[in-house]
Each structure stands twice: as C-alpha cells, then as structure tokens.
Amino acid sequence: MLALTGLVALGVFVVMIWFAVRYRRGSRADRSNPPVNNRVLELGWIFAPLAVFIAIFVWAAVVYAGFYRGDPAAMTIYVVGKQWMWSVEHANGRREIDELHLPLGQPVRLVLSSEDVIHSFFVPAFRIKQDAVPGRYTGIRFTPTKAGGYGLHCAEYCGTDHARMGGRVFVMAPAAFARWLEQGNPSPTLAAQGFEVFRRKGCSGCHAANSAVHAPELNGIFGRTVHLADGRTVRADEAYLRDSMLLPKRDVVAGYEPIMPSFQGQLDEGEIAALISYLKSTTGKGS
C-alpha cells in the first residue's frame, strides 16, 4: 500500500513540477494546437485505478472477514470492559487486569462484553479494534505473529477516565506462556467455576438428566444446531448460550415450554463466561 500510494504521489508531483516549470508565464513553450482528446489515456486513467482499488478492496475484505470467521483451533479468552479497565479471563481460570498475555503463533478469539457502557478493544499494532457492547457478546479472532509488548487502548469514549483505560498485550513464546498461565493461579478452571455456578444458581435443578422438569439436556450443546419453537434453527454459539440465560423467552427450544426464568441481573459477566465455558467443556471441545 505504501509503495503504491508513494508511486502515485511521486508521479503526480513530478508531472506537476515539470509542467509548472515548462508552462510558467513567459516561458517559450509551444502553446499552439493543444490536444483536447485522447481516448486511450482517458480509458487508462478510469480503468487502471478502478482495477487497483477493487483489488485493494478484495484484499481488505478477506482480512476483515478473517476477524470473524470461526476457527476450531482458536483459544477463547473472555474480555470484559468496565469503567475503566479491561478484565481478562483465561480458560484455566487465570485472570488479569489491563494486561493480556498471548502465546506466539496461536490463533486466539476474544469474546468481549461490557459491564456498563460501550467500550472498544483496540490494539493498534495488531490492527484490531472491536466494540464491547453491554448486553451482548462480540468477538474477534487473530493470530499474534511477533513476540513483544504492545499498547492496548479503549477506543470508544466511555466517561471520565476513558483516556486512561488501557494497558498492554504481551505476546510470549508458547512455553513461556504456558508457565505464565500456571504461575500463581490458585483458581479452578473457568469450566469448573461454571459447573459450580450451574449448581448454585439452580440450573442443574431443571437441566440435570434426572430432573423432574422437562428441560433440554445441555451436555454437548455447544456448536449444536438447535431447532426453535418458532421454526428457526440456530447454531449454539456463545451469543446463543448467553441469550438463552438472559432472554430465555426469545429463543425457545422446540418441544419445550418457555418456563425457564430469565437470569438477567442475577449473573455477572464472569459467571456467564464460566457457565458457557462449562457448557463447552461438556462437548469435549476445550475452552
């Protein structure tokens, strides 16, 4: 891109300066019979840039689509924005604030949410920027390709300390990352925390296999295709599972009564992430 735009700028300036000198007032240039029409030249300057711009568009669109494409090999990390910090939760239960450690060369997918207002997760060096929106999940996928420390910012004005909301992303060699992940981490895995929430909040009362209530079996739910009472089919991804807990009336599973209560306001973002991680673990698909 730099070479291309540099070349065009150079061409424009060379011709501009040359014309300015040659046709300056008082110069002896030949001004008789100036050409008024040159079809080849006109077609050229219409279609050459058009082709170049379309090629750049396709290139950019492929990169952009890659941010949102599913990738079974990607490691899922939950990121919650709140006034005014980023809180991060890894699958093994390790948490960090205003820092994000990543293994080199490993595809990662961030699942973003917000506790209050809209924030935007921005790592300029990675060219990634994704809004964290209250009430829903957003996600972005990328692969860190270079070890080092990089600036992390909030790119959506979110109140008094918006400018200070940020931190650093550290990309480490996989072995160093694995050590870091285990280091000083007394907490159980996210999935284990989710299992605990599942019992404590009474989900298991309805969803356990031996329950008297007619509720769907949730083992292996993640990634499954779900048929809904209104005829739609959806894929059970993070956003679907989240909505199933907070807005159960919206996507009622075919063959069941809409008796599940909403857990809106009763689960914080950490508990929701833990529950989803637990439901995923029953599929055997890891984090």
106 contact partners, CB below 8 Å, separation of at least 6: 75, 143, 144, 174
Cβ contact 108:77 at 8 Å: yes
**By CB under 5 A, how many residues form the interface with Cu ion?**
4
Look-up: residue for tokens 């991060």?
88
Work out whether 188 is an interface residue with ligand HEC (CB under 6 A): no
Q: Site map for Cu ion, 142-181, x if CB under 5 A?
A: ------------x---x------x----------------
Work out whether 191 is an interface residue with Cu ion (CB under 5 A): no
Assigned token pair, 84 = 């005014």
For ligand HEC, give the closer residue by CB, 107 or 216.
216
Work out whether 208 is an interface residue with ligand HEC (CB under 6 A): no
Shortest Å distance, C-beta 255 to ligand HEC: 8
Q: Site map for ligand HEC, 237-266, x if CB under 6 A?
A: ----x--xx--x---xx--xxxxxx-x---
For ligand HEC, give the closer residue by CB, 151 or 261.
261
160 contact partners, CB below 8 Å, separation of at least 6: 84
Work out whether 215 is an interface residue with ligand HEC (CB under 6 A): yes
Assigned token pair, 170 = 């550290």
Work out whether 119 is an interface residue with Cu ion (CB under 5 A): yes
Burial class of residue 162 (count of CB atoms within 10 Å of its CB; 0-12, 13-18, 19+): middle
Shortest Å distance, C-beta 77 to ligand HEC: 21
For ligand HEC, give the closer residue by CB, 125 or 253.
253
Runs of H (alpha helix) within the chain: 2-22, 39-68, 174-182, 190-200, 203-207, 238-246, 269-281
For ligand HEC, give the closer residue by CB, 158 or 279.
279
Cβ contact 121:129 at 8 Å: yes
Question: Residue 238, SS3?
Answer: helix
Determine the residue with CB nearest ligand HEC.
Answer: 203
Burial class of residue 188 (count of CB atoms within 10 Å of its CB; 0-12, 13-18, 19+): middle
Q: Site map for ligand HEC, 106-125, x if CB under 6 A?
A: --------------------
Give contact residues for Cu ion (rule: CB under 5 A).
119, 154, 158, 165
Give contact residues for ligand HEC (rule: CB under 6 A).
201-203, 205-207, 213, 215-216, 218, 221, 226, 236, 241, 244-245, 248, 252-253, 256-261, 263, 275
